[in-house]
A and B are shown apart, each in its own frame.
Chain A
Amino acid sequence: MPEHAEHTIEVGGATIHYLKGGRGKPLVMLHGAEGSLGWRQYHEQLAESFTVYAPTCPGFGQSERPPWLESFTDLTRFSLWLLDALELSQVTLAGHFIGGWLAAEMAVMSPRTFEHLILIDAAGIQPRDGEIADVFLHGQEGTRQLAYFDPQQVAEYAELFQHKPSKEERDIQTRNQETLVRYCWKPYMFSPSLPGLLGRVQLPTLIIWGQDDRIVPLECSALYQHALPNARVEIIPQCGNCPPLEKPTECVRLIRNFLV
């Protein structure tokens, strides 16, 4: 079983936490709106083929946020600094939900840093027909109810969400929510210019989507594919917004097939 460990690194005056494990070519996995949920089964499975880096974005979890870092654009720049500090280049960049949006923005800003791009139920593009569900208005519990096709098939659901959080966990949840509000309140979860900017991103891109995503509508997978010159879409049936947790084996199989 591949080993993993937690590390910290100084970036732009802030201490950033990240998990690293596995062997092989580097793959950076950016977390979703709930922040880092730790080293999960999908990390473990990916780590069998790749050296997985799972950073905690500034302002989430234990990672510090420099006081000037207040926008999604700043987060994008900062995240590129992080990869620079980790001496990572020509890496695969993957992200889920807001992490997918962040990955897309990073690819726009610095396409030559990456070899492949993987977007999983990514925010970032405004749907044409539907809406990205308002996770703030639904609240944490309501959002979790929306996030999964069937929580019963999320093997790690009880471990992650069904225990009474400790004071430290509650503090981190509060911090994560504040940070999410800071970066994503308005415009909500999309950048109007992103579809246009993605046109110059030639990276081979895999778009993975849960067929039953009730947070970021499935149509956004097609919008991403339309915006990116070199992208293909894989839809996972009976899966909500979070394939890495709800269908980890399927999700990792698609990634591995795409990269190997």
Chain B
Amino acid sequence: MFLMRFTERAYVDYSEEDVRQSFRSAVRLTFPNAHFNPSLGADLYNTYLDEYEYSEEVGFDGLMLNEHHNTPTCMGAAMNLEAAILARTTKRAKIVLLGNPLPIFDNPLRLAEELAEIDMISRGRLVSGFVRGTGIESWATNTNPVYNRERFEEAHDLIIKTWTTPGPWRWEGKHYQFRVVNPFERPLQQPHPPVWIPGIGSPETLIWCAQHHYPYIYLETDPQVTLDLTAIYTEAAKRVGYEPGPQNFGYLVRVHVQDTDEKAYEVGKGFLIGNAGVGRVPLPGDFMAPPGYNSREGAKRIVDQYRRYSLRPDPLYGGVDSAGWEKVVESNRVIVGNPDTVVRKLREVLSVVRPGILGVWTNDGTIGHEDTMRCLALMEHDVLPAVREMGKELGLPGPFEHAP
């Protein structure tokens, strides 16, 4: 079992009214950056880096970062910079980037260079995840969403070839063309840093991951939906000749521990304004998925799958509001409690989903630094060792124990 810690590094110093007054009442994309206070931003970036460094101390195997643009819900607009800092200030934990949104980069070679540097500075601790990005990333960078998947796949192929094929050579693709591909600095890990792919279950991405033997990290999907999605991956893996195991799957879930169930239940409510933003004002659907961003088949499949269950995977889409915090906690979509409660609930989830990688989303929204540090401290002795044992007992090897 590979245990990694995550937070979206939220900025929450704004009001619901501020969100409602933005263009199309959106907390992402068009929410005016006049609401950002760089002094507070400076404090928050440093606090969040401190928390990541402490996460290594308490025993996490990985420090997971993500990237979003034009949003207060995630301050990781330039995730690779945070990764580069952690590469230098931490010593043991993997630096897990989930991930760089490939389609929005016009120069994937620059990305290959940045990631190679991070891999070398960290002495081979980089896990280089790639994502398509939400629709917001396409809007924010003016990347045509119709070509999102094509650009994702081509940029991926170009980066992997850049890392693995001695240069110089030439690339003449549909979306990218380079005369002389020959970045001098190559990654330390050979043939290249591990690639993991996070997502909420686009069938095309699951199949593509299975074909590439890349672990797929479910981003807090409904456990029952997750089983359906795993079946898509498994079927595709079998078609290319292998049987995937827990090492091929990861699961990200919000987990907040406090000394008592009551305190965790109260503090955990801070998650609710995490990636949905203060006020939880629903985002316009076409901001998250502009026309052409999803294949029509993929979009329909996602909707159909989640319609079958009462809770959707992400509070962003209104699931938490309609279900209520109590039901969310009851159904283990967000896990809060004292260490014993959290370990028990994690067993319920891990027994069903069976991931070899567990992403522990410890804090977000209004969950403050003090509560976060207490949560991490409690995890050191009272949660992480138990989850590791549980992983062994349930037969859930991570991708560093068993090659995907």
List residues of A whose CB falls within 8 A of some B CB: 136-139, 142, 171, 174-175, 177-178, 180-182, 185-186
Contacts and interface: CB of A to CB of B under 8 A. Distances in A.
Interface in B180-232: none
B283 to A, nearest CB: 12
Chain A facing B: main interface SS: helix
Nearest to B146: A182
Interface string B104-148: 000000000000000000000000000000000001001011100
Contacts of A181: 144-146, 290-292
Given A142-B24, A174-B296, A136 B144 contact: no
Given A181-B146, A182-B144, A182-B146, A136 B296 contact: no
Interface in B85-100: none
A180 B144 contact: no
B284 interface: yes
Nearest to A177: B291
A177 B284 contact: no
21 contacts: A136-B290, A136-B291, A139-B24, A139-B286, A171-B296, A174-B291, A174-B296, A177-B292, A178-B146, A178-B292, A180-B291, A181-B144, A181-B145, A181-B146, A182-B144, A185-B142, A185-B144, A185-B145, A185-B146, A186-B142, A186-B144
A181 B286 CA distance: 12
A178 B291 contact: yes
Contacts of B291: 136, 174, 177-178, 180-181
B139 to A, nearest CB: 7
Interface in B18-37: 23-24, 30
Interface residues of B, number: 14
Contacts of B284: 139
Contacts of A174: 291, 296
Nearest to B144: A185
A178 B144 CA distance: 10
Which of A174, A175, A181, A182 is the most central at the interface, judged by chain B CB atoms within 10 Å of its CB? A181
Given A182-B144, A182-B292, 13 more contacts: A136-B290, A137-B23, A137-B30, A138-B24, A139-B24, A139-B284, A139-B286, A174-B291, A178-B146, A178-B292, A185-B145, A185-B146, A186-B142
Contacts of B146: 178, 181-182, 185
Contacts of A175: 296
B66 to A, nearest CB: 24
A256 to B, nearest CB: 36
Interface string B135-168: 0000100101110000000000000000000000
Interface in B280-296: 284, 286, 290-292, 296
Given A142-B24, A182-B144, A182-B146, A137 B292 contact: no
Q: Interface centre among B139, B142, B146, by most A CB within 10 Å?
A: B146
Contacts of B142: 185-186
Nearest to A184: B144
A185 B141 CA distance: 12
A137 B29 CA distance: 10
Contacts of B139: 137
A178 B292 CA distance: 5
A180 B291 CA distance: 9
A117 B183 CA distance: 52
B226 to A, nearest CB: 27
A177 B299 CA distance: 15
A188 to B, nearest CB: 8
B82 to A, nearest CB: 29
Contacts of B30: 137
The list of the 3 closest CB pairs from A to B, nearest first, reads: A177-B291, A178-B292, A185-B144
A136 B145 CA distance: 11
A178 B147 CA distance: 10
A103 B284 CA distance: 33
With most chain B CB atoms within 10 A of its CB, the pick from A136, A138, A177, A185 is A185
Contacts of B290: 136, 181
A33 B346 CA distance: 50
A235 B138 CA distance: 37
| Best-surrounded residue of B24, B142, B291 (most CB of chain A within 10 A) | B291
A211 B290 CA distance: 30
Please indicate which of the listed interface residues A136, A137, A138, A182 has the most CB atoms of chain B within 10 Å of its own CB.
A137
Contacts of A186: 142, 144
Interface in B340-388: none
A82 to B, nearest CB: 22
A124 to B, nearest CB: 19
Contacts of B144: 181-182, 185-186
